[in-house]
């Protein structure tokens, strides 16, 4: 926590006042600035020239109208966002989220986190995020296509290989990226593959990008467990969500001998004590775009489907929340600790509330933040950009090898930075400080811009 004498407090107050009501953005800024006192004490020059104030103010924020026509011929209007937060280290980079809850505060929290996450990867990437308050659930493929085309009709003039490179996030996967890339190409008359990542293999996509966030999370997690002499084998895991990140986290965990017993969607969760059948989850989610309750229907009485409780009530030794922000509360944290949790890694962005994080830290649970754990997605996006620039295609194995090295480096950087700043085992401070130092040095070298 910040103390009142700290020079960061007035900066924080000004950010709260200037960005009224943007509660997720406030939460993310609090968390990062709350870690920076030791680094500013050792390196006061990092706070010169209003560097922290500049870091917390996006370079550019674009808000736009997205009119589109549904299958009944009705005109619908949504709101689109792209926040280009910081391009000191490279073009702005970060996903697009389509979800009814999307607003400016959510996109800004995600864009802010992305700056430090991208810095941790060691790749030449700035930070940004975008999306729309569009609800893809229940929409036909044609409606999704028309929406994506209208979204890109405005977005195309703001992005580019050297400016800002979007990708997927909640509600945006390979299908949506394809529609958006198609519209970008049509409007600009350029086959500029480096403008967006998460493309399919036919259009310059990279092997392993689909799997990257989940696989990367498991590589990080494995290394974190090893710092206390634990291994993955034989652990009992819960992974919330059942989208892109959750599916490939579960798949990799199972392949390494973990028993994953529960996962969820926004309607409820399933508990399969025999261990989740990930191929069935993939079929339900990726092919049929259906609800997780289908899993229980197909498996019969050995599987429980629960819609009126928290997934975190189910006992486990390791947890990887991989759905959305603030999905895991202080009550959940207390239950998990009581039930014997030894480690938690954030697969999603900011899934644990600050109170929950505090409980884990007090209880001595190994805890790692999303900006480190889930960085494998954006790191593999950078590998996709690299392949696009050189017109190469690496094999799955080569790409996955690169990913695992990057995740091990991120882990070690966070771990060693925490030690260096006298907070051994504190991955939140390690990630925030290491990411900050890289961005601060890049910003300083560019002058006041
Ligand atoms: P998907 O859209 O593929 O899946 C999201 C999952 O989370 C679904 O199961 C969804 O359920 C559930 N979910 C979403 N919103 C809510 C909510 N408000 N309440 C409860 N459940 C919810 O998204 P991803 O898997 O790509 O993203 C998951 C998280 O990981 C997000 O925080 C994202 O920012 C983060 N992330 C994603 C990366 C990527 O490469 N895709 C990279 C790094 C982080 P339902 O279907 O019912 O809505
Ligand atoms: O939160 C994230 O890191 C992502 N949604 C992936 C971003 C990217 O550009 O691949």
The tens digit of pLDDT for each residue in 259-275 reads 999 999 999 999 999 99
The tens digit of pLDDT for each residue in 31-53 reads 999 999 999 999 999 999 999 99
Ligand 1 in reach of 32 Cβ (< 6 A): no
Cα–Cα distance, 64 to 154 (Å, whole number): 7
Q: What is the mean pLDDT of residues 164-175?
A: 98
DSSP structure class, residue 161: T
Query: For 34-115, where are the E strands, in sequence order?
Result: 60-69, 75-86, 92-98
Atom of ligand 1 nearest to the CA of 242: 9
- Smallest CA-to-CA distance from 82 within 173, 196, 185, 209 is with 196
Ligand 1 in reach of 213 Cβ (< 6 A): yes
Alpha-carbon distance values, 376 to 49, 85, 287 (Å): 33, 20, 24
pLDDT at 176 over 50: yes
- The torsion angles phi and psi of 96, rounded to 5 degrees, stand at -120, 135
Q: What is the mean pLDDT of residues 7-21?
A: 95
Distance 383 CA to ligand 2 centre (A): 13
The tens digit of pLDDT for each residue in 432-446 reads 999 999 999 999 999
Q: Copy the structure tokens of residue 426.
A: 């504190």
> What percent of the chain shows pLDDT beyond 70?
99
- Smallest CA-to-CA distance from 250 within 226, 269, 267, 266 is with 269
13 CB contacts (<8 Å, ≥6 apart)?
A: none
Three-state DSSP at 221 gives: helix
Ligand 1 in reach of 131 Cβ (< 6 A): no
Ligand 1 in reach of 349 Cβ (< 6 A): yes
The tens digit of pLDDT for each residue in 186-219 reads 999 999 999 999 999 999 999 999 999 999 999 9
Assign 2 a pLDDT band (cuts: 50, 70, 90): very low
pTM score, whole prediction: 0.98
- CA nearest ligand 1 atom 35, residue: 348
Q: Give the closest ligand to the alpha carbon of residue 96.
A: 2
Cα–Cα distance, 449 to 162 (Å, whole number): 17
The tens digit of pLDDT for each residue in 50-73 reads 999 999 999 999 999 999 999 999
Alpha-carbon distance values, 412 to 118, 261, 408, 443 (Å): 16, 29, 6, 24
DSSP structure class, residue 283: I
The pLDDT score that the predictor gives to residue 4 is 37
- List residues with catalytic annotation: 129
- CA nearest ligand 1 atom 29, residue: 348
Atom of ligand 1 nearest to the CA of 198: 40
Q: Give the closest ligand to the alpha carbon of residue 206.
A: 2
Distance 228 CA to ligand 1 centre (A): 30
Assign 5 a pLDDT band (cuts: 50, 70, 90): very low
Q: Copy the structure tokens of residue 351.
A: 């899934």
- Smallest CA-to-CA distance from 99 within 81, 74, 76 is with 81
Alpha-carbon distance values, 373 to 79, 91, 223, 411 (Å): 30, 22, 11, 8
Q: Give the closest ligand to the alpha carbon of residue 164.
A: 2
**Ligand 2 proximal residues by C-beta, below 6 Å:** 93-95, 114, 117, 167, 169, 197, 349, 377-378, 381
Cα–Cα distance, 239 to 271 (Å, whole number): 11
Alpha-carbon distance values, 243 to 106, 113, 141, 295, 449 (Å): 19, 21, 18, 14, 38
């Amino acid at each position: 926590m910040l103390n009142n004498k700290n020079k960061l407090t007035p900066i924080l107050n000004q950010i709260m006042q200037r960005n009224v009501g943007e509660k997720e953005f406030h939460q993310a800024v609090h968390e990062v600035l709350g870690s920076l006192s030791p680094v500013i004490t050792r390196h006061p020059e990092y706070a010169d020239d209003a560097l922290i104030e500049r870091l917390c103010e996006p370079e550019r924020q674009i808000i736009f109208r997205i009119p589109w026509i549904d299958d009944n011929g009705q005109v619908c209007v949504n709101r689109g966002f792209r926040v280009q937060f910081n391009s000191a280290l490279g073009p702005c980079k970060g996903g697009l989220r389509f979800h009814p809850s999307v607003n400016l505060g959510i996109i800004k929290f995600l864009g802010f986190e992305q700056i430090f996450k991208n810095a941790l990867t060691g790749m030449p990437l700035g930070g940004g995020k975008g999306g729309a308050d569009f609800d893809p659930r229940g929409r036909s493929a044609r409606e999704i296509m028309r929406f994506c085309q209208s979204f890109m009709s405005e977005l195309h003039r703001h992005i580019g290989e050297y400016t800002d490179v979007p990708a997927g996030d909640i509600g945006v996967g390979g299908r949506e990226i394809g529609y958006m890339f198609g519209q970008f190409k049509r409007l600009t008359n350029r086959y500029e593959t480096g403008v967006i990542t998460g493309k399919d293999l036919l259009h310059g996509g990279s092997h392993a990008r689909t799997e990257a966030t989940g696989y990367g999370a498991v590589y990080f997690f494995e290394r974190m467990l090893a710092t206390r002499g634990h291994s993955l084998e034989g652990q009992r895991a819960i992974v919330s969500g059942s989208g892109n990140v959750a599916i490939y986290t579960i798949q990799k965990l199972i392949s390494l001998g973990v028993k994953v017993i529960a996962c969820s969607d926004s309607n409820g969760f399933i508990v399969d004590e025999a261990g989740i059948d990930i191929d069935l989850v993939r079929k339900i989610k990726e092919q049929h775009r259906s609800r997780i309750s289908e899993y229980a229907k197909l498996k019969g009485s050995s599987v429980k489907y629960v819609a009126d409780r928290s997934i975190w009530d189910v006992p486990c030794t390791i947890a990887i929340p991989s759905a959305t922000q603030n999905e895991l509360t202080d009550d959940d944290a207390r239950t998990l600790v009581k039930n014997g949790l030894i480690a938690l890694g954030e697969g999603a962005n900011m899934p644990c509330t600050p109170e929950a994080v505090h409980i884990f830290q007090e209880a001595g649970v190994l805890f790692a933040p999303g900006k480190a754990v889930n960085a494998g997605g954006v790191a593999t996006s950078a590998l996709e950009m690299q392949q696009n620039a050189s017109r190469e295609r690496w094999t799955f194995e080569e790409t996955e090898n690169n990913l695992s090295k990057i995740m091990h480096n991120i882990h070690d950087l966070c771990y060693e930075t925490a030690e260096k700043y006298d907070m051994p085992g504190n991955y939140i401070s390690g990630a925030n400080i290491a990411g900050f130092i890289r961005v601060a040095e890049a910003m300083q070298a560019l002058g006041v811009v």
